[in-house]
Amino acid sequence: MRQRDSALNTQRRHAILEAASTCFVKSGFHGTSMKDVCGAAGMSPGTLYHYFRSKTEIIAGIIESEADMTLELLSSLKTTPDFFEALHEVLDFIASEVTEQDLALHTEIAAEILRQPHLRSAQAELDRRALEIVSEALSKAQRETQVDPTLDVDVTAKLILALIDGLLWRATFEGAMTLREQIPATKQLLSRMLQLQKERS
């Protein structure tokens, strides 16, 4: 994407993303003007537009760095010997690391993803990769008879991700504390959903 990548270039871009994140958490995406970001980053509008072509591209930069972390987190599901233990670790990580501040930024990002077609297709691509990781992890767990082999892995993977997305969405309104309270029940739900079923009536 970027043609040149000098030390100055990456340094300035990073500084802008940091400044913008701070502003977005404090005042929201639309509550902060480009002038605000310029002030926080200590540069003029012309300079900022030299490194980012638009306000949306700044959000895209923030999304990109968050996406890497998400995919890395999910990857542990593919390498672990115990699928359920790894799944619990993922949920615990979300519960412990997600602060009110993170949720505020997540909210601003989500709102802008919903609005901008370009960001939406980037998110769709991220979702596809996340889905692939979880599907493969489920297949592996099925082969090792840890997970009910009658389940369709793609559909099941989508449900798992939908559940996590829904929990984060609701945490936006109810706060990080309520999210944390949901975690044990979520683990139980996933166990009942995925584990080998006994014959029943």
Footprint of DNA (CB under 7 A): 4, 6, 8-9, 12, 30, 32-35, 43-47, 49-51, 53-56
Positive or negative: CA dihedral 178, 184, 188, 191: positive
Contact between residue 180 and residue 94 where contact means Cβ atoms under 8 Å apart: no
Q: Give which of DNA, a second copy, none residue 108 binds (C-beta under 5 to 8 Å, depending on kind).
A: a second copy
Q: Give which of DNA, a second copy, none residue 45 binds (C-beta under 5 to 8 Å, depending on kind).
A: DNA
The residue to which tokens 């542990």 are assigned = 76
Q: Give which of DNA, a second copy, none residue 8 binds (C-beta under 5 to 8 Å, depending on kind).
A: DNA
Spatial CB neighbours of 144, under 8 Å, sequence gap ≥ 6: 83
Rounded CA separation 163/101 (Å)? 22
* Cβ proximity to a second copy, 19 vs 103, nearer residue: 103
Binding to a second copy (CB under 8 A): which residues in 48-107? 107
Cα 116 from chain centre: 17
198 near a second copy (CB under 8 A): yes
Rounded CA separation 86/16 (Å)? 35
Q: Give which of DNA, a second copy, none residue 53 binds (C-beta under 5 to 8 Å, depending on kind).
A: DNA
Segment lying near a second copy (by CB under 8 A), choices 72-80, 88-96, 135-143, 160-168: 160-168
